[in-house]
A and B are shown apart, each in its own frame.
Chain A
Amino acid sequence: MAVRVQSDPFDPGAELTAFAAERTDIGAVVSFTGVVRDDGGLRAMEIEHYPGMTEKAIAEIEVEAMERWGLKDCLVIHRFGHLAPGEQIMMVITAAGHRGDAFAAAEFLMDYLKSRAPFWKCEVTDAGADWVAAKDEDEDALNRW
């Protein structure tokens, strides 16, 4: 179980290969990578976070996922700072005995990261910079767990 909050880019392929290497008790590895999407006119995404609380909040969400789905391991990487369109924002990897638990835990982690990890996205366009508003459906998504 690990949490990495960093401004540096990361290589999702290398992370996936390194994750759970040399373990033979894992039957399923699921990964999700979030990417900065440009729907038109986006120059950059600036991500602010709350150092200290961010790592703690993500670790708490991971502990819950580990227990609930009996995960063998999980990893969350989340970037902050200045990100260009096409760059990776974050990655979640889960490992379990079977795929059902690995998929469910990855979705759970994503839903909770969206609205319970202290990150704030600001979209920079030619018109200026705007804080991304939280969506009701992101909050509603937590109810299914």
Chain B
Amino acid sequence: MIDVLYFAWVRERIGLSKEKVETSAETVAGLVAELKAREARYEAAFADVSALRVALDQELSDFDAPLAGVREIAFFPPMTGG
């Protein structure tokens, strides 16, 4: 089980801020493919992953990164702090 977090418009499109997901995906991209296959709202949120960023255990990462040992994954749009 992995904790999946969504922020900003990703959260709004999916309609959830957090969920637990049972996955056998080996990479972030694999998990995204599984989520997209679930429902239209996931498909809408992940339609263009180049518009998204991902963090693994609260560190920025990449979509081709392995998921082994990861407890928390977060998807969000590019950050707009400051």
Contact of A3 with B by CB under 8 A? no
List residues of chain A with CB within 8 A of the CB of B59: 53
Asked, given contacts A48-B7, A131-B9, whether A118 binds B76 with beta carbons under 8 Å apart, the answer is: yes
A110 part of interface (Cβ distance < 8 Å)? yes
Q: Chain B residues near A122: list those with CB within 8 A.
A: 8
A114, B58: Cβ atoms closer than 8 Å: no
Any chain B CB within 8 A of the CB of A115? Answer: yes
A123 to B59, CA, bound (A): 27
User: Which listed residue (A52, A90, A115) contacts B78, Cβ 8 A?
Assistant: A115
Interface pair B82/A110, CB less than 8 Å apart: yes
Q: Which residues of A contact B (CB under 8 A)?
A: 34, 48, 50, 52-53, 56-57, 78, 89-90, 110, 113-122, 131-134, 139
Q: What is the interface of chain B, defined by CB distance below 8 A to chain A?
A: 5, 7-9, 11, 55, 58-60, 74, 76-82
